Amino acid sequence: MDVVVEPGLEHQAERARSRQGLLMGLPAMIYLFVFFVIPLGFVVMYSFATRTRTGRTELAGWNLEAYERLGETVVRAVAFRSLWIAAVTTILSLALAYPLAYFISTRRPATRNMLLVGVMIPFWSNFLIRTYAWRVLLDSDGIFTRIMSGAGLGDGRILFTNKAVIIGLVYGYLPFMVLPLYAAIERIDWSLVEGARDLYASGWSAFRRVVWPLSKPGVIAGSILVFVPSFGAYVTPAILGGNKKGLMGSYIVDQFMDARNGPLGSSLSVLVLVVMLMGTLVYFRQGGRSL
Amino acid sequence: MKKWMSLVAVITAFSIVAAACGDDDDVAQADCDAGQTDGDLAFYNWSEYMDPELIAAFQEEAGVTVTEDFYPSNEEMFGRVEAGGSGYDMIIPSDYMVSILISEKMIQPVSEAAVPNKANVAERFANPPYDPGAVYTAAYQWGTTGIGVDTGVTGEDVPHTWGLLFDEAVADQYGLSGRISILDDPRETMGAALKYLGYSLNSTSKSELAEAEKVVADAVDRVAAFDSDQYSELIVLGETVVGHGYSGNFLWDFEEGDSTYDYFVPDEGGTIWVDNMAVLTDAPHPCTAFAFMNFLLDAENGAQLTNFNWYASPNAAAEAFIDQEVLDNPIIYPTDMSKLEFIEDTGDFEIEYTDALSRARS
């Protein structure tokens, strides 16, 4: 009855399949190697290089000076400010996106798709242009500032403050929170919620004990997708924040463009990379595999 | 944002850095004839500095396409072209940056045969200290750096001092907190703070610069933005009241505002600068660049440029074609030069300025 397959043949078939997979993945791998791995290698190399007195980066006299400078108060201040802004952005995005994702995923399929397209519409125009548009909305004559002042909130200033940066970041990265949340919530088997309600769970506790845990992979994925780019954000702080009190992204750009300190810019980039990598590793260790 | 694109360029530069060769001992000089072109022109310039109609006219005349990119400070331009292979033909560096570019062998001597109009440059710009004999450059425009104020907000009696940017008491008195913009430019910004403290803006004293750094750092909380592109627009929009910037841009935008405005160089003294046309050593199309240089040094074209951007022209022959109201404007053609100082190349100390601004701002 059982078809006896020679183990060798099966093994060969498997090998062929994996070869095929490799061939198909090759273009992308080459692309990533040339345009991601090699440049990244240069960044690491630069971080150990010497900065000449004219600001040139010399690939010689390898040293750790750029890494020693990571301990300076300036760097620490910039890093903590960035962490704080990224954390606030992530929490606000989650608070806004969760109800929205919940709403979308409980609509009929046709409505659902339309709403999802709606979430993605902002991507149709350039991020830079949208950020400049926020400048008009947030300036002293802008509608937001007027409403805030009218309500007796704030000092009539939003543009060029951290508030503006956070508003801009939440706006920019909200879709990255909504989409994974939607994917997670949409997958939930609602009969489990019905079961909970049958067992006299209140609406709130059914949410807390059934829906929330099941949507957690979406929460974590969305949070990473928002937190990581917020931490390194450059465009938003420059345009809406007035390019001062640097955040990590603009501080790194400044090292390359203004201060012409290639090694420090590179060591900062490596630092960000390592922190993010560790965060992601912890996440996968903590059962993120369920994604 | 231009800077963002520059970043992309820097990252791209990483991948070709291995191919980028080191310094050559001799600077190659292109041999071009008058009016000769060798391809489309890639022009790297300050923003709002070139009349688009002049570019259109040159494209028509020479039968080439001109691409113009912009930079907000000499340092950023330098950072972009220093690795080589930037693809740009012509740049507009200021005085002190010209001497740096010459010593780094990054710009090439002007091809005399291709730029006969160089004779139009006024006597006093024909032998500048940063480029003796004007071998490598031809002057483009000159002007001053100072402060623009919305006097509709502050009143006419606003004191002519750098304290408007840096002094907390002055800021409180005129309601400037959060309504100040300062240039995003190491030499100009640190220079303004040095002048405020009564030092030379070419100081090479570490302690003086450290004091200036503290002055800028203390001002950061009152500053709306560090900005080299939009300082005048921000005032006209009512977003800021006081801006640090270049004379011509202020005049240009103040025309459009509803309030009353003023521009002045503070009593402590400020910057006078000359921007210059220069062709990069590794320019892909040097002959087109020299043809463009010659075109801009033409008397009528030079006048059109000044009538457009409201910066003073170093072109003596152009004067006859410049609008009288421009020539008579003491902001464009200052009458009192005594408190103005040129930014000079401080050699190895340059990097201290960039570091100081970077630290002060973060």
Query: What is the mean pLDDT of the segment spanning B326-336?
Result: 92
State CA A22 to chain mean position distance.
29
Mark yes or no for CB contact B79/A258 under 8 Å: yes
Residue B235 to residue B250: CA distance in whole angstroms = 9
Q: Taking 50 as the threshold, does the pLDDT of residue B18 lie above it? A: no
| Reported confidence tier of residue A240, pLDDT bands at 50, 70, 90 | very high
Which pLDDT band holds residue A287 (cuts at 50, 70, 90)?
Answer: low
**Predicted ipTM of the assembly:** 0.78
Contacts of B97 in chain A (CB under 8 A): none
**Chain A, 55-94: which have a CB under 8 Å from a chain B CB?**
55-56, 74, 77-78
CB pair distance less than 8 Å for A261 and B14: no
Query: For the residues B48-54, what does the mean pLDDT come to?
Result: 95
DSSP code of B47? Answer: T
CB contact under 8 A, A78 and B76: no
Say yes or no to pLDDT of B3 above 90.
Answer: no
How much is the pLDDT for B9? Answer: 52
The pLDDT value given to residue A21: 82
The nearest CA of chain A is from the CA of B260 a distance in Å of 18
A258 vs B15, B178, B358: nearest CB: B358
In chain A, whose CA is at the least distance from the CA of B362?
A245
Q: How far is it, in rounded angstroms, from Cα B201 to Cα B304?
A: 32
Strands, E assignment, chain B: 41-46, 66-71, 90-91, 107-108, 138-150, 180-182, 223-226, 242-246, 261-264, 270-280, 340-342
- Residue in chain A closest to B82 (alpha carbons) equals A56
Question: Which string of DSSP letters, residue by residue, matches B272-333?
Answer: EEEEEEEEETT-S-HHHHHHHHHHHTSHHHHHHHHHHH--B--BGGGGGGS-HHHHT-TTTS
Mean predicted confidence (pLDDT) in B254-277: 94
Task: For chain A, give the mean pLDDT.
Answer: 88
| Model confidence at B14: pLDDT above 50 | no
Residue A81, min C-alpha distance to chain B (Å) = 10
How many C-beta atoms surround the C-beta of residue B34 within 10 A? 14
Q: How far apart are CA A25 and CA A28, in angstroms?
A: 6
Interface test with A, best of B8, B239, B346 (most A CBs within 10 A): B239
Cβ <8 Å between A244 and B79 = no
pLDDT tens, residue by residue, B144-166:
999 999 999 999 999 999 999 99
Report whether pLDDT(B127) > 50: yes
pLDDT score for B76:
87
Neighbours of B128 (CB within 10 A): 20
Give me the pLDDT at residue B259, please.
93
What residues in A contact B9, CB-CB < 8 Å? none
* pLDDT reported for residue B244: 97
Q: Is A146 on the interface with B (CB under 8 A)?
A: no
Contacts of A82 in chain B (CB under 8 A): none
The pLDDT, as a whole number, for residue A242 is 87
Q: Is A261 on the interface with B (CB under 8 A)?
A: yes
- The 10s digit of each residue's pLDDT in A100-141 is 999 999 999 999 999 999 999 988 999 999 999 999 899 888
- pLDDT classification of A89: cutoffs 50, 70, 90: very high
Residues of chain A with pLDDT > 70, as a percent, come to 95
- The alpha carbon of residue B62 is apart from the nearest alpha carbon of chain A, in Å, by 34
Q: Does A257 touch chain B (CB under 8 A)?
A: yes
**H or E stretch at A50:** strand A50-51
Q: B345 to chain A: nearest residue by CA?
A: A54
Tokens, residue B65: 């396409």
Compute φ and ψ for B68, nearest 5 degrees.
Answer: -115, 125
> Per the confidence metrics, is the pTM higher than 0.90?
no
* Listed residue (B362, B72, B44, B354) closest to B230, CA to CA: B72
Which carries the bigger pLDDT value, residue A23 or residue B88?
B88
**Residues of A in Cβ contact (< 8 Å) with B3:** 238, 253, 257
The pairing of strands B270-280 and B90-91 is antiparallel
Cα separation, B249 vs B265, in Å, equals 14
| pLDDT greater than 60 at residue B7 | no
Total CB pairs under 8 A between chain A and B: 114
pLDDT in tens, A18-49: 888 888 899 999 999 999 999 999 999 999 99
pLDDT of residue A2: 57
User: With 90 as the cut, is the pLDDT of residue A275 above it?
Assistant: no
